[in-house]
Structure 1
């Protein structure tokens, strides 16, 4: 089953209290913080064990003599008197020997003679092999000991949380306009990529520098936390904020498309924003288009001509199909573009 961050607490409340849960999800989408928040909501301390940093004896403990007999004494981090939330992070990245050591703890809630206090919960988490993250196959015996839940990133959930979490207004406003940039698939090479965690780190760095951060430093921060294309567009967005150069001004005719060579990133950002506006506000059926939609369509064709004069490549971005070859703009609008803007049609060909 797949859930969003807002749905997860209810699932854990009903499932984790009776059975161990394993939470699957891409790096940086908030698995760890969500588990800690869930534990807090139950009034339980959250004890985190990182599978990649454990040896079997870290779980089983070391032998001690009691009345002339040896027994294993579990570590203090596990052997507690009060109920708690045991969070086994990066569980599927641990070695096979460590995974075996988890068997009885996960299924029987026991290590040796020690049993987890009544009311404790056990939650594991890990990344998928498809995320290009460290992940080892889990034995079927371990897989079968847990209820598996898949967590997906949700821009709506994250933005609702960010509004009250002190996220920098540039980050919040940008992702409000481009929620599709909250998360990107992990690359196959060692480079930053966009995640809720990455945007949060960027926000913290911006708060530290202040709004007078230089363009060069802003670029270092953005390209150090986000996917390259998202970083470039975020940098361009900040430029629009600083110079009050927004898409609305272009649509009203109060400003022209930026044409200076050094503003090409800004031009690309505005073109992407223009495309998003057309997708959002143009109706699928022209016959039912409100007056505002017809005005936008008319103005949109004129702006496409102006944009094509600056960059045919960027103008094509506005009307391009999606990655599957499907049109994202209404068919009637594309027909009018084909009829009225032959220069763009030739460029697309």
Structure 2
């Protein structure tokens, strides 16, 4: 199955394992709660889905790459204990709690979460001395004489032997005690993730053109060469920061992440073209509605991959604007909830500054708990930090202005909050205007051609752009979307589009400058 299906299956498994009867007993006894064994090629997102499952279900996550551990750190250290049997005193060997199990208890203490996921990566690459202990853990959920607490799902991940020479085969006894899920790479699924994550537009549009370059592992005379989903995502992060700093990512930089030279060279060439297209097609002018007729003529006559790249540039910019608007919308909702509580506490006679300090402290603590629980979603953390910063700013302003009573304090805070609401409205107007201008430009360039169908399809699939359209509307979108009312029509048109692209680009590398 693909990684999205695997994520859903793990979520379902976790929910089933944590389900209880009216007496508080687990419906599936812990002894029958098999560990999940996730097997698949490296870099397809096995670790990321564990983080997502933990965040979405509200449980804790403790993650370890088990190859970093020795027998002692995983199992614990032995010590001599005195026991009495039949009137005789015997010296026996006990074990201290292992570092891994101690981390589970630490998380429970710090967060108050009693249930979660213990994720052990590279489970089939452990050292020879540790291998028996890991098999025991998968079979019995114990390290030494210490047991994993109830309510914790063991999830382990490993790579098939064709990707790692040091892997160990599991015996039948172990395999008969685990729930094995085999995953494989799937670009369509990864693209959904990329849209939501805000992966760099050059990466997404390039892989749209070169889907066979998304994931490859090849054995050559120089050794193993590869391009993985993890490599593309990490490269995307670097490209975004490089652009902010005004730095250029050349072929050598790309090759540090995409370690298959011919793909790295091809993407580096495309990246240069991507930057060139932004300039020669004046993307900023398109989005502000001030493009020139020559831009329309040039794009109309361009090769198909160039058209896709320019649409990718537009979609990337539109997605970014929609994402910022959506975040501001969520921020306003959260602040409104906080200020409703602020108003209630003022009515109860509380001090305004003290109330804001309490509200800020509660949110800081919640953010800290989420981090300790392994629920490290970057977008959620950013939103939470923005809310904290604004509430703290409100408190500082109240200290400076020192209003005479709670009514004046509430009026001041309401006015400051109104600025955030207006910012939301302003961002929405700008994002919607950019969307309207993009449609107008593409209509002028392609008429009612297949390019518009593809553009509408991508807007629909993008979580932020679809949210923007649903929330604030877009006449051009709904007009063109009538052609996509039936899935069969959508599939047929997309097949025609990519068949034309394949015919045009067969055996052709990306055009060089």
Confirm or deny a common fold (TM above 0.5).
yes
Match of 2:5 in 1: 7
Tell me the number of residue pairs that the alignment of Structure 1 and Structure 2 aligns: 269
Q: For residue 49 of structure 1, give the secondary structure of its aligned residue in structure 2.
A: strand
CA deviation after TM superposition for structure 1 residue 8, in Å: 1.3
| 1:106-147: CA deviation from partner (whole Å, max 9, x where unpaired) | 222223443222210011111111124531223333333212
Match of 1:38 in 2: 53
Distance 1:57 1:197 in 2: 31
Q: Does 1:48 align with 2:80?
A: no
CA deviation after TM superposition for structure 1 residue 183, in Å: 0.6
- 1:187–1:225 Cα change, 3 Å: farther
Match of 1:222 in 2: 254
CA contact (8 A) 2:73 2:100 kept: no
Distance 1:55 1:139 in 2: 22
Alignment of 1:93-132 (within 5 A): 93-132=125-164
| 1:227-280: CA deviation from partner (whole Å, max 9, x where unpaired) | 22222221222233233379x98895468x9xxxxxxxxxxxxxxxxxxx9xxx
- 1:317–1:176 Cα change, 3 Å: closer
Distance 1:144 1:97 in 2: 22
Tell which deviates more after alignment, 116-125 or 88-97.
88-97
Distance 1:239 1:162 in 2: 21
Distance 2:164 2:213 in 1: 19
Alignment of 1:12-161 (within 5 A): 12-15=10-13, 17=17, 18-65=33-80, 70-79=93-102, 80=105, 82-161=114-193
CA contact (8 A) 1:132 1:187 kept: no
Match of 1:182 in 2: 214
| 1:132-178: CA deviation from partner (whole Å, max 9, x where unpaired) | 45312233333332122111111111111111213212112212332
CA contact (8 A) 2:74 2:100 kept: no
- 1:100–1:132 Cα change, 3 Å: closer
Match of 2:265 in 1: 232
| 1:197-233: CA deviation from partner (whole Å, max 9, x where unpaired) | 111121122122117544xx42112222222222222
Q: Out of 230, 236, 239, which is 1:203 matched to?
A: 236
CA contact (8 A) 2:200 2:237 kept: yes
CA contact (8 A) 1:127 1:133 kept: no
Q: For residue 122 of structure 1, give the secondary structure of its aligned residue in structure 2.
A: strand
CA contact (8 A) 2:98 2:143 kept: no
Match of 1:323 in 2: none
Where is the helix percentage greater, Structure 1 or Structure 2? 2
Structure 1 stretches of 4+ with a deviation exceeding 6 A read 248-251
- 1:170–1:108 Cα change, 3 Å: same
CA contact (8 A) 1:193 1:225 kept: no
CA deviation after TM superposition for structure 1 residue 75, in Å: 1.6
Instruction: Give the TM-score normalised by structure 1.
Output: 0.65
CA deviation after TM superposition for structure 1 residue 67, in Å: 5.7
Higher gyration radius (CA): 2
Tell which deviates more after alignment, 158-167 or 69-78.
69-78
In structure 1, stretches of 5+ residues that fail to align are 258-276, 282-288, 305-314, 319-349
Alignment of 1:255-334 (within 5 A): 317=507
Q: For residue 210 of structure 1, give the secondary structure of its aligned residue in structure 2.
A: helix
Tell which deviates more after alignment, 128-137 or 152-161.
128-137
In structure 2, stretches of 5+ residues that fail to align are 18-32, 84-91, 109-113, 282-295, 306-449, 455-491, 509-513
CA contact (8 A) 1:21 1:147 kept: yes
Match of 1:344 in 2: none
Match of 1:268 in 2: none
Q: For residue 125 of structure 1, give the secondary structure of its aligned residue in structure 2.
A: strand
